[in-house]
Structure 1
Amino acid sequence: MKVAFITYSMAPYRTKQFEEIVKINHFDLSVYYIGRSVKTRDWKVENSKLFKEYHLTGYFKLGNHYLLYKDVKRVVLENDIFLLGGYNSTAMFIFLFYIKKYHKKAIFVMDGISPKKLAESSSIKFLVKSKFIRRMDGYFVNGQVSRKYLIKNFDVNPDMIFNQYLTVDVDRINALTAQNIKREINKKFLILYSGRILPRKRVSDFLKAANLTGIKNNISILIVGSGSEKSNIQQLGESLNLDISFIPFIKNQDDLFKTYGRADCLVLPSDDDPWGLVVNEAEAAHLPVIVSDACGCALDLVKSGINGYTYESKNVNELSEKIIQVYNAVENGTKMGAESFKIISKWKFSDSAHSFKELINEII
């Protein structure tokens, strides 16, 4: 059986995910990238040795895509099942046309959606999206919010929705950070933010909340990443007199994961985040997590009072309270980080591969 995945660009977590799918299912897999620029976010990504990769080209530049793509018909005729990663490119619609014309199978791949976007409006964009999504034979989606979104807005059959378990290399992160699980005596409580520093990430909320805790002299903050808001965040940290340090975006995954081993907690304060893979990473590193309710992963990966907390996005006072609660729990020996690892240990690449196998068996 030949399986083709049509996606925007390369990503380290995606490569690992599909390598595991190939190992467990023994498919002949080909990945076709439709982005004009293959790599994004400066990730260090190596080509896979377990599946074939191609960069599709076309005519008439349209942002980082093309309006028309070459060889779509040939690709469709050469494969049996297609995973379509999104609907924001003409390539996806062109592929779907030929997939249906030649009676092949199409699977919609959804990496997540912010809970804030659970309800769709009846607009032209929605109608186009609806026609695309409802023509799929199966759905490979990430987490509970994605599942609810498809059922609520597009009347998708729940039996055809399978969890993608999109994740990170849990075992690798665990191995790299295991030696740092025990906290150093008299060390400040280090809270980590990892990701792009953009307005919608609301990193400023995190700093303001830390300032309100009343224990800021016992806290240090580490910001890992880059983005348009970095200078503003640096200025805010200085004005609040916080113990804060910055590390630019880390391209090497192992070096990034080792950084998690230095922390005691992760905060993800985004106001609009389809998922939040940094939470997967933090939990694999045995960290408690504090995540806004606007992050797609909140329902699946955060158990309130067990491995961390969720809070209402933009609510700085509530975020401050959650920081204090995690600080007190960890200081009093509560094993929130161990609970995080238990949760993420059921969200691995192998889980993704087995779920995909169930999906394939269902649609064929």
Structure 2
Amino acid sequence: MRIALVHPAHMDYRQEIFDKLDDRYDVTFIFTKHGRGQDNVKEKQASIPLKWKSKILRTRLTFGNRDIGMYLLLMKELLFGKYDLILTSTSWHVCWLMSKLCRNKFILITEFWYWKNTSFTRKVLNEFTKYIARSSDSIFAMGTKTYQSYLEFGVSEDKIFAHTQCSVDYSKQTSFDARKKLGLEDKKIILYLGRIVQSKGLDYLIKAFSQLESNYDNIFLIVIGEGPHRNECEKVIDQLKVKNVMFLGSSYGNEKASYYKACDIFVLPSIFYNYSYEPWGLVINEAMAFGKPVIATNAVGASEDLIQNGHNGYVAQEKNIMELYEAMKKILSDSEVLKLMGENSRIIFEEKNDYEKMFKALENAINNS
């Protein structure tokens, strides 16, 4: 069986699952956004293994920030590539149409679960997605929120195969003493790591941290990442006269591992912004691998599967500054609670972050299509 796997870009957290696919099936990996970052923010992408059959679709025919020519190349590839199955996590409207024209099997790999209609166009696209989901041969849903949303679409339960998303365990990488490097040996460190875009909600975290700062004189907020919303966040810092915040830019590899290791609490304060949100949030997995308490909002997909309130962290309502503040305060107020929550995070990570089980679920989706 010849499979076309259509995916935006190759990232290190997909390496293991894609290697298993390549070993088991005749797969051509088709990347539609490789070499570009989300929201025009640079991101670290992985090198595509030479042993894979792969294609990067990219043209100079653009409209706004969209590569319109890419869609033409994608249609050509799927029409004439003689595939038996199209497996896609992106551009599913185009991929589904091509599968119908070529009478291919079609499987949707998806992490999406929030379908707010913010415009007429979005309403039409969402309704089309629901139709595609119901007519797919199977769905591979990454996370409980995604699984539940597709059941609500009317997709038959026996067509949906689900597993939590998995990340690389960076705790196994070598690291340096970030606390010593930054002169924060005696501080309690709150860490944010991600793109600095509006939907990530960093400004809400800063507002919550400003309240926390009035209670503690030994805390520090470290921000790892870059993005167009940074200026707005810095304005909030100036307005609230927040003192202990440090922006360190983008970070990868052992440097990123060092900051995870150094922090006391990891926070992902994402919000619903238009139709943007946090479908999963792999930084939650990554922080838990280091045995850290984690705080996220209900706009983060991973919060449903990986965070147990009061056990290894807290889930706050999105845009709720007081709930973010209270969650951080509860963890920081008791060193034994902080330690135990971190240990619980590592236990949950080892249980849920299982690439073997994730691949088995995907394989079942393929074999039952």
Q: TM-score range by the shorter chain?
A: 0.7 to 0.9
Unaligned 5+ segments in structure 1 are none
**Residue 354 of structure 1: aligned partner:** 360
Query: Would the alpha carbon gap of residues 232 and 39 (structure 1) be closer, same or farther in structure 2, given more than 3 Å must change?
Result: closer
Looking at structure 2, the residues matched to 42 and 317 of structure 1 have their Cα atoms a distance apart, in angstroms, of 31
1:223 Cα offset (Å):
0.1
* Identical-residue share of aligned pairs (%): 23
**Residue 124 of structure 1: aligned partner:** 124
1:257 Cα offset (Å):
2.2
**Residue 173 of structure 2: aligned partner:** 176
Match of 1:71 among 72, 77, 90: 77
Q: Deviation string for 1:174-206 (max 9, x for gaps)? A: 2137998xx999721101000111222221211
- Name the SS of the counterpart of 2:347 in structure 1: helix
Q: Is the 8 A contact 2:332 2:338 kept in 1?
A: no
1:117 Cα offset (Å):
4.4
- Compare relative contact order (CA 8 Å, sep 6+) and give the higher one, 1 or 2: 1
Looking at structure 2, the residues matched to 194 and 282 of structure 1 have their Cα atoms a distance apart, in angstroms, of 10
**Residue 12 of structure 1: aligned partner:** 12
1:207 Cα offset (Å):
1.6
Query: Would the alpha carbon gap of residues 51 and 166 (structure 1) be closer, same or farther in structure 2, given more than 3 Å must change?
Result: farther
Q: Deviation string for 1:292-348 (max 9, x for gaps)? A: 111111111111111100011111111111001111244556421121112122223
Query: Would the alpha carbon gap of residues 117 and 19 (structure 1) be closer, same or farther in structure 2, given more than 3 Å must change?
Result: farther
Looking at structure 1, the residues matched to 248 and 56 of structure 2 have their Cα atoms a distance apart, in angstroms, of 32
Q: Is the 8 A contact 1:21 1:350 kept in 2?
A: no
Q: Work out the number of aligned pairs and report it.
A: 349
1:220-259 pair list within 5 angstroms? 220-238=220-238, 239-250=240-251, 252-259=252-259
Q: Is the 8 A contact 2:174 2:254 kept in 1?
A: no
**Residue 156 of structure 2: aligned partner:** 157
Match of 1:274 among 274, 279, 298: 279
One-letter amino acid of the counterpart of residue 227, structure 1: G
| Cα RMSD after superposing both structures | 3.1
**Residue 326 of structure 1: aligned partner:** 331
1:192-207 pair list within 5 angstroms? 192-207=191-206
Query: Would the alpha carbon gap of residues 44 and 144 (structure 1) be closer, same or farther in structure 2, given more than 3 Å must change?
Result: closer
1:12 Cα offset (Å):
2.6
Answering whether residue 82 of structure 2 is matched by residue 85 of structure 1, we say no
- Name the SS of the counterpart of 1:223 in structure 2: strand
**Residue 314 of structure 1: aligned partner:** 319
Q: Is the 8 A contact 2:106 2:136 kept in 1?
A: yes
Looking at structure 1, the residues matched to 185 and 193 of structure 2 have their Cα atoms a distance apart, in angstroms, of 24
TM-score calculated relative to the size of structure 2: 0.84
Query: Would the alpha carbon gap of residues 199 and 185 (structure 1) be closer, same or farther in structure 2, given more than 3 Å must change?
Result: closer
Looking at structure 2, the residues matched to 308 and 325 of structure 1 have their Cα atoms a distance apart, in angstroms, of 10
- Name the SS of the counterpart of 1:38 in structure 2: coil
TM-score calculated relative to the size of structure 1: 0.85
Unaligned 5+ segments in structure 2 are 272-276
1:255 Cα offset (Å):
2.5
**Residue 302 of structure 1: aligned partner:** 307
Query: Would the alpha carbon gap of residues 59 and 222 (structure 1) be closer, same or farther in structure 2, given more than 3 Å must change?
Result: closer
Looking at structure 2, the residues matched to 130 and 326 of structure 1 have their Cα atoms a distance apart, in angstroms, of 41
Looking at structure 2, the residues matched to 163 and 50 of structure 1 have their Cα atoms a distance apart, in angstroms, of 28
Match of 2:297 among 292, 295, 309: 292
1:74 Cα offset (Å):
2.0
